[in-house]
Amino acid sequence: MILPRELQILKSHGSQYIRNLADVKLPETFRGRPEISGNMTVADALELENICPAGAISHYPEPALDMGKCLFCKECQFRRPDLVKFTNDYKIAANNRDDLVVKAGDKNPISFRHNLVRDEIRKIFGRALKLRQISAGGDNSCEMELNAAGNVNFDMGRFGIEFQASPRHCDGIVITGPVTLNMAEALKICYEATPSPKIIILAGTDAISGGLFSESAAIDRSFVESHAIDLYVPGNPAHPLTFVNGILNMMR
Ligand code: SF4
Q: Where are the domains of the chain?
A: 114-251
Task: Specify whether the CB–CB gap between 182 and 210 falls below 8 A.
Answer: no
What architecture is the 114-251 domain classified under in CATH?
A: 3-Layer(aba) Sandwich (3.40)
Task: Determine the straight-line distance between the first and last CA of the chain, rounded to whole angstroms.
Answer: 39
Pocket of ligand 1 contains residue 54 by CB under 6 Å: yes
How far CA 97 is from CA of 28, 68, 102, 211, in Å, comes to 26, 8, 11, 15
pLDDT band at 81 (very low <50, low <70, confident <90, very high): very high
Which of 44, 49, 57 has most ligand 1 atoms within 8 Å of CB, for mutation?
A: 57
Sheet holding 57-58, edge to edge: 57-58, 64-66, 101-103
Residue 92: burial class (beta carbons within 10 Å; 0-12, 13-18, 19+): buried
Q: Quick one: which atom of ligand 1 is closest to the CA of 51?
A: 5
Does this model's pTM top 0.85?
yes
Supply the residue whose CA is at minimum distance from atom 6 of ligand 1.
73
Q: Quick one: which atom of ligand 1 is closest to the CA of 86?
A: 1
DSSP state, 180?
A: B
Rounded to an integer, what distance in angstroms lies between the CA atom of residue 64 and that of residue 44? 11
Distance 237 CA to ligand 1 centre (A): 13
Distance 213 CA to ligand 1 centre (A): 15
Distance 95 CA to ligand 1 centre (A): 22
Average pLDDT of span 51-73: 96
pLDDT number for residue 1: 67
Position 7 pLDDT exceeds 90: no
Measured in residues, the chain has a length of: 252
